[in-house]
Each structure stands twice: as structure tokens, then as C-alpha cells.
A and B are shown apart, each in its own frame.
Chain A
Amino acid sequence: AQRVTQPEKLLSVFKGAPVELKCNYSYSGSPELFWYVQYSRQRLQLLLRHISRESIKGFTADLNKGETSFHLKKPFAQEEDSAMYYCALSEGGATNKLIFGTGTLLAVQP
């Protein structure tokens, strides 16, 4: 079955510390993976997608097919990074449906 697992409900770090938000997936085909972010009192927005290999707000994520992982990383956390982060897997095909993980709340302490 297709599944996205985010093992950490809460990740608390100090400002300037490195951040790694874990995401593992289960998918039989070639996955399309995304990270969405939800800042306090705001709507979900796309942070980055694996296919474009981009860095947004200092965050990067590399798809590791061998480990079926798509961890989100940032070398130096900022207080404004505090938010809920969701990893999502596209089922592909015409419906564009996404399967979301349970989310990780990142809290960056001053």
C-alpha cells in the first residue's frame, strides 16, 4: 500500500542548529514527492518537490530510492522556520491525488 511516514510529531531545535525532518515512503512505482509547509494561521503551501531539485528558504530534500526516503534538511535553522511540515506522495496518473504524512511540527527556539 502507498504510504508516507513522518516518525517525529515534534522536532525542537535551537536557532542556528541543523534541521532534518524525516520522511519515508512506500510506493511501487516511480514516486513524485513533495514537502508542504503550514505556518501558523496560514494555508498549506508547497515548499519544494523532488523533481526540480531546488533549494527553497535554505531547505533541500534528496530522494533516496534505496532507503525510500525524502528527508528535508536545512543547515542552520531560523526562528521563522517554525511551522508544520508535511511530506506528500503523488499517486501519479490523471487524478493528481496526494498522500500526506502525519506532519512534523518544527519549533526553532531562540
Chain B
Amino acid sequence: DAGITQSPRHKVTETGTPVTLRCHQTENHRYMYWYRQDPGHGLRLIHYSYGVKDTDKGEVSDGYSVSRSKTEDFLLTLESATSSQTSVYFCAISESKASGDYNEQFFGPGTRLTVL
């Protein structure tokens, strides 16, 4: 597996509490992504980063914020967790490819978050 870890792997929290998920990579890849995986919706992009301190919104960014202060770490924060944010969260990384190459993403093991 590519050097991608996520912490925590499982978390149960209560509605209204803040939650931070961490993605750590040892590949020195430029791009990092946060997805959520839900039945019937597949994977949906929450936020992504294209460099240190450079981030942008994805398809389902409401209620989430991110930060990337170092190349290797990408944090996802739920400022005030809601039950609709119960999901499995995946981090992914990729690197810039020369023209004509494909854009493979490598995934972390996932974090299962339950908001009660």
C-alpha cells in the first residue's frame, strides 16, 4: 500500500461536537483529497489540496473545513458534527503526471465516523 494512514480509524461522537480526522502520507505527493463514502452515493469529494495551504471545495463541502500546513498532513474538520455526517471517510493522494500520463489516486484505509 502507498504510504497513507488515517487516524482515527473509528470514532463515535455526539451531535454538535467538533471532530478532526487526519490523513498522513509519506509519498511526498502534491495532491490530497477527502471523500465520503455512503451507500447509494459512492464516493463524493469533500475538499482537496493542491499544495501546502492550497485547498479548494469539492462536491459536498458544506459543514467541513480542511487544512494543510505540511505536505504530509491533510486535516478534515467537522466544526459541529451532525448525524448526516455519519459516514466512512477516505483520504487519497496523487502526484502530478507528465502530459499523457494518467491520474491515479491512492487511497487510505478509511475512517468510520458515527455521529449520535
Residues of A within 8 A of B (CB): 6, 9, 32, 34, 43-46, 49, 51-52, 86, 90, 92, 94-103
Contacts and interface: CB of A to CB of B under 8 A. Distances in A.
Contacts of B107: 43-45
Given A97-B48, A100-B43, A43 B103 contact: no
B109 A43 contact: yes
B43 A52 contact: no
A9 to B, nearest CB: 7
19 contacts: A9-B40, A32-B102, A43-B1, A43-B90, A43-B107, A43-B110, A44-B92, A46-B104, A46-B105, A49-B102, A94-B96, A95-B48, A96-B31, A96-B94, A96-B105, A99-B45, A100-B35, A102-B42, A103-B43
Given A43-B1, A44-B90, A96-B31, A101 B42 contact: yes
Contacts of A46: 104-106
Interface residues of B, number: 28
Contacts of B105: 46, 96, 98
Interface in B26-72: 31, 33, 35, 40-45, 48, 50, 56, 58
B44 A90 contact: no
Interface of B: 1, 31, 33, 35, 40-45, 48, 50, 56, 58, 90, 92, 94, 96-97, 102-110
A5 to B, nearest CB: 10
B44 A52 contact: no
A90 B45 contact: no
A98 B102 contact: no
Contacts of A103: 42-43
B84 to A, nearest CB: 18
Contacts of B97: 96
B102 A86 contact: no
A46 B92 CA distance: 12
